[in-house]
Amino acid sequence: MGDIALAAETIAREAEIQGKSFVHHASHLVVHGFLHLLGYDHLEPEDAERMEARERAILAELGIEDPYA
């Protein structure tokens, strides 16, 4: 299907800036990446809404707050 590459230093920096835990931010990025591998994208507003809704639902199941709030 594809690869998902993450940079720990970037995740740590972004998490700190956004006031999120490293684990929650990394989890969001992994979910986001997997959705891309499954064919989701966010080029058009309606596609972004669909993808973000799916991300929110998956992350909620993992006990992670809405990353877009």
The domain ranges of the chain are 22-69
pLDDT tens digit sequence for 2-58:
999 999 999 999 999 999 999 999 999 999 999 999 999 999 999 999 999 999 999
Whose tokens are 């490293």? That residue is 22
Position 34, amino acid = F
Phi-psi group of 60: left, alpha or beta (phi > 0 → left; psi -120 to 50 → alpha; rest → beta): alpha
User: What pTM was computed for the model?
Assistant: 0.93
Q: Tokens at residue 5, please?
A: 């590459």
Going by C-beta distance under 8 Å and a sequence separation of 6 or more, which residues neighbour residue 52? 42, 68
pLDDT in the model for residue 35: 98
DSSP, collapsed to helix, strand or coil, labels residue 19 as coil
pLDDT in the model for residue 14: 97
